[in-house]
A = this chain, B = another copy of it.
């Protein structure tokens, strides 16, 4: 990860001084605030701000469900109940703002989640940094033969080396030519006086999709959990999953009770279809169920077996 000395100085300054507030404070996330968690070779996730904590979820639920909830359960129990019964609005009462640095092809997948606020670094206005994602050799996976969105075994030997070399060369050349086309010197003056320099909004099209971009990304806790459920999943692409994993750590520090409930009722949960439930009931009654008499397709049966095996 590359934080510029200037960025690091800003982080240190922001962390040096506390201010008094009347708002709820989550100690766990205060300890992380502003610091960059490294992800991939040049990326990071940083908490820039947050609103609310576990108690804010409980407070919102108690507005909705009234005084009765007060005695019925303690906070942790109520949060688990809310998560189990898909009560989403109390979780929407917490909000987090992150600064993320990530490759363009990851950003394109990420942005498909529409329920967040985004301020992305604009390559229409500014010049992107000279940083590209190059996978670690152990991440250089072949296309899976059985699963069209999955990865197979890791590339070896000369093929792996060539792939890495090509990725590096094409990114570098693309970036160098981007810079040449821009023709901007360090002080904004033309690097070469004899040329006009191509508009930034056009030159950027020469960049490869592993170039890093960055954004501020703000989302409520309910939608963050939805994002994490999809992207911290083993089926998610490795390059986005590592960001999701970093955000899981952040959520755990911020709202420990909600995160625990999320693990129990979402990340570690399994959904069975109507047919799967029939099979399950027959199995618990002692019957031997096979795919043939299950009423499920081969694919569903395989997924069912995998879920039962854990």
In the complex, which of the residues B50, B65, B270, B310 contacts A126, with contact meaning CB atoms closer than 8 Å?
Answer: B65
Is A185 part of the contact surface with B, judged by Cβ < 8 Å?
Answer: no
Residues of B within 8 A of A19 (CB): 20-23, 25
The docked-state distance in angstroms from the alpha carbon of A245 to that of B274 is 19
Residue of B nearest to A51 (CB): B51
**Closest CB-CB distance, A152 to chain B, in whole Å?**
7
In the complex, which of the residues B60, B90, B118, B206 contacts A89, with contact meaning CB atoms closer than 8 Å?
Answer: B118
Residues of B within 8 A of A174 (CB): 170, 174, 208
B21 pairs with A152, CB closer than 8 A: no
A198 pairs with B163, CB closer than 8 A: yes
Residue of B nearest to A277 (CB): B270
Residues of B within 8 A of A269 (CB): 271-274, 276-277
Number of interface residues of A (CB under 8 A): 139
B273 pairs with A152, CB closer than 8 A: no
Main secondary structure of the interface of A (DSSP, over half): mixed
Is A75 part of the contact surface with B, judged by Cβ < 8 Å?
Answer: no
Within 8 A of B (CB), among A65-81: 65-69, 77, 80-81
Within 8 A of B (CB), among A20-61: 20-25, 30, 33-34, 49-52, 56, 59-61
In the complex, which of the residues B121, B149, B216 contacts A125, with contact meaning CB atoms closer than 8 Å?
Answer: B149
The docked-state distance in angstroms from the alpha carbon of A129 to that of B22 is 29
**Closest CB-CB distance, A43 to chain B, in whole Å?**
13
Is A2 part of the contact surface with B, judged by Cβ < 8 Å?
Answer: no
Is A202 part of the contact surface with B, judged by Cβ < 8 Å?
Answer: yes
B121 pairs with A63, CB closer than 8 A: yes
A119 pairs with B97, CB closer than 8 A: no
B167 pairs with A170, CB closer than 8 A: no
In the complex, which of the residues B51, B133, B297 contacts A50, with contact meaning CB atoms closer than 8 Å?
Answer: B51
A60 pairs with B207, CB closer than 8 A: no
B84 pairs with A206, CB closer than 8 A: no
**Closest CB-CB distance, A53 to chain B, in whole Å?**
10
**Closest CB-CB distance, A169 to chain B, in whole Å?**
8
Within 8 A of B (CB), among A166-198: 166-167, 170-171, 173-174, 177, 180-182, 184, 195-198
The docked-state distance in angstroms from the alpha carbon of A97 to that of B170 is 36
- Residue interface mask A92-125, B partner, CB < 8 A = 1: 1101010100011101100110110111111111
23 contacts between A and B (CB under 8 A): A19-B20, A19-B23, A20-B25, A21-B23, A51-B51, A52-B97, A64-B121, A65-B122, A89-B118, A89-B119, A92-B117, A95-B95, A105-B205, A108-B108, A114-B115, A150-B199, A206-B208, A206-B210, A267-B274, A268-B274, A271-B272, A280-B308, A284-B284
